[in-house]
Copies of this chain bind each other. A is one copy, B any other.
Amino acid sequence: MAIEQTEEIFRHFEKYIKLSPILKNELATRMVFKSFKKGKLIHSADTICTKSYFIQKGLLRIYFIKDGKEITEYFSAENEWVNSPRSLMQQKLDIYYIDSLEPTDCFCLNVRDLVFLFDNFPEMERYARLSMGTAFGHFMERITSMRFTTAKEKYQHFCETYHDIHHRISLGMVSSYLGITQETLSRIRAEK
């Protein structure tokens, strides 16, 4: 991959670890740049996940299907990794689908390269541990926000968490993310 495109993702890594020139080179060699147009299915639940995507620009949705309806698990935007976590790490099937809500540019690493990097660069293990810690904190906040809060408070929390992208996402996707109905969310939005 052209080394000039890697600045952003390297900056992301360097929030957590120092990148040696050797590791930078290994990363740049292994990452593949990919563009998806809006509405593309990037990963399906009936395949094992073999790739992890780092979003440079765009917006993806991770969802599963319950009673025939798509339920949003979460959204991912710029500077975040996206994959089907259990499927990727344990190389088995899981319930999640991933699609693009906007035209999206990604860096893509396949599972063999990930394993290589973890096996040969301890700092990659550290990066993964620390960045997962950050994600963990967000999950705990989300769990807190889902108990003991009204639908309106849930929506407000959502707008804070996804402040710069909440207006790019359709009503139905947001409502299933929050665990409320479309109708209720529509009324909440109307009332101010």
- Ranked 9 nearest A-B pairs via Cβ: A147-B179, A122-B122, A125-B125, A128-B129, A129-B129, A139-B139, A125-B126, A132-B132, A146-B146
> A186 to chain B: closest CB distance in Å?
18
Please provide the chain A residues from 135 to 169 with a CB less than 8 Å away from any CB of chain B in the complex.
135-137, 139-140, 142-144, 146-148
Cβ A133 vs Cβ B71 within 8 A: no
A136 neighbours in B (Cβ, 8 Å): 85, 132, 135-136, 139
Q: Given A89-B133, A128-B129, A129-B132, 9 other A-B contacts at CB below 8 A? A: A71-B148, A73-B143, A73-B144, A85-B140, A118-B126, A118-B129, A125-B126, A132-B133, A135-B136
Give the bracket for the number of chain A residues in contact with chain B: 20 to 34
Q: Give the CA-CA distance A42 to B139 in the complex, in Å.
A: 24
A142 partner, pick from B64, B129, B137, B143, beta carbons under 8 A: B143
A148 neighbours in B (Cβ, 8 Å): 66, 71, 179
Q: Is A185 part of the contact surface with B, judged by Cβ < 8 Å?
A: no
Residue of B nearest to A131 (CB): B129
A128 neighbours in B (Cβ, 8 Å): 129
A133 partner, pick from B85, B126, B139, B146, beta carbons under 8 A: B85
Q: Is A86 part of the contact surface with B, judged by Cβ < 8 Å?
A: yes
